[in-house]
Structure 1
Amino acid sequence: MSNDSHHDKHHEGDVAFIRSLAELLNSSELNEIQVKREYGEHDRLTVSLTKQGKQVVYAQAAAAPAAAAPAPAGTPAPAASPAAASADPATLPGAVTSPMVGTAYLSAEPGAAPFVTVGQTVAEGDTLMIVEAMKTMNHIPAPRAGTVRRILIDDGTPVEFGTPLMIVE
């Protein structure tokens, strides 16, 4: 019985995820979005975006200790160079990126204290912020234990899939 409800939860999340991808496709210059998701011991989500013939791959692996998205296609410097790494926060170790298109909020409600502040130590799974998508409040968990080094977005910022939100090291 619990397996069915677990599957239903995945299904509902998948439907919302697919809708948000469709909105992203319609509202951007993207030509193609490919998604590969694996459930099981090592849940994994791989998303490939194609924009005007250039492919940009964002891979977010829930089980991996430090999944970092590669620099977007068309970056003039090689991704391995320090200049490129410092230019794109998504490539930094400890980058936490948005799993969806939506609006990022740093606190549970307007005027409330933020979930986390720079310098704060967090445990894996602690809520870092909320990304609201299609009137659903999605809590963004810390992918690992560490310290919040940088918060890269402001409260109420619209975010795309893969937008760097904060750095947790």
Structure 2
Amino acid sequence: MSKFNIDNDAIRQLAELLDDTNLTEIEVAAGDNRIRVARQGTMVAAAPAVAPAAPAASAPAVAAPSDAASHPGAVKSPMVGVVYFAPEPGAAPFISIGASITEGQTLMLIEAMKTFNPIRAPKSGKITQIIANDGHPVEYDEPLVIIE
């Protein structure tokens, strides 16, 4: 019988992150350990309506991700977190539309549980579309940018 330790502080932090970002679920993994926190009930039904947090900015982006998700050049989020396109406030962004990039180049950072994770280009190409919004939350497998 293996011993399973539950990290109550990590669960609380994930629950707070759900509240802060209006996400419906979050999952983190470290080695063989995995923690998933999800909301149930009416919050799940409201998942497509995350737009009320920022209606003007999200309205155009809502149509783009559904088309972009199936695009062969879509770079999708490997985690739940908040996207940042620059290494620090006021700094030049990592990418811009029309920029040529190389495989492995940092495209953006995703902050998850107070850790900034670089998202690197899976291939070389040109940035044709930036879908994610700087400083806004993203969910797992959500399209972030298109590289052609």
Bin for the TM-score computed over the shorter chain: 0.5 to 0.7
CA separation in 2, counterparts of 1:119 and 1:14? 34
- RMSD over equivalenced CA pairs, Å: 2.8
Q: Deviations over 1:24-66 (max 9, x none)?
A: xx1367xxxxxxxxxxxxxxxxxxxxx99xxxxxxxxxxxxxx
Query: What does residue 142 of structure 1 align with?
Result: 121
Higher helix fraction: Structure 1 or Structure 2?
2
Query: What does residue 97 of structure 2 align with?
Result: 118
TM-score (norm 1): 0.53
Unaligned runs of 5+ in 1: 1-12, 30-50, 53-84
Q: Deviations over 1:62-97 (max 9, x none)?
A: xxxxxxxxxxxxxxxxxxxxxxx9942110120000
* 8 Å Cα contact 2:132/2:145 also seen in 1: yes
* 8 Å Cα contact 1:151/1:165 also seen in 2: yes
CA separation in 1, counterparts of 2:71 and 2:103? 18
Unaligned runs of 5+ in 2: 1-27, 46-63
Q: Percent identity?
A: 46
Please tell me whether residue 128 in structure 1 is matched to residue 103 in structure 2.
Answer: no
CA separation in 2, counterparts of 1:167 and 1:131? 17
Q: Which has the higher contact order (CA 8 A, sep 6+)?
A: 2
What is the number of residues matched between the two proteins? Answer: 101
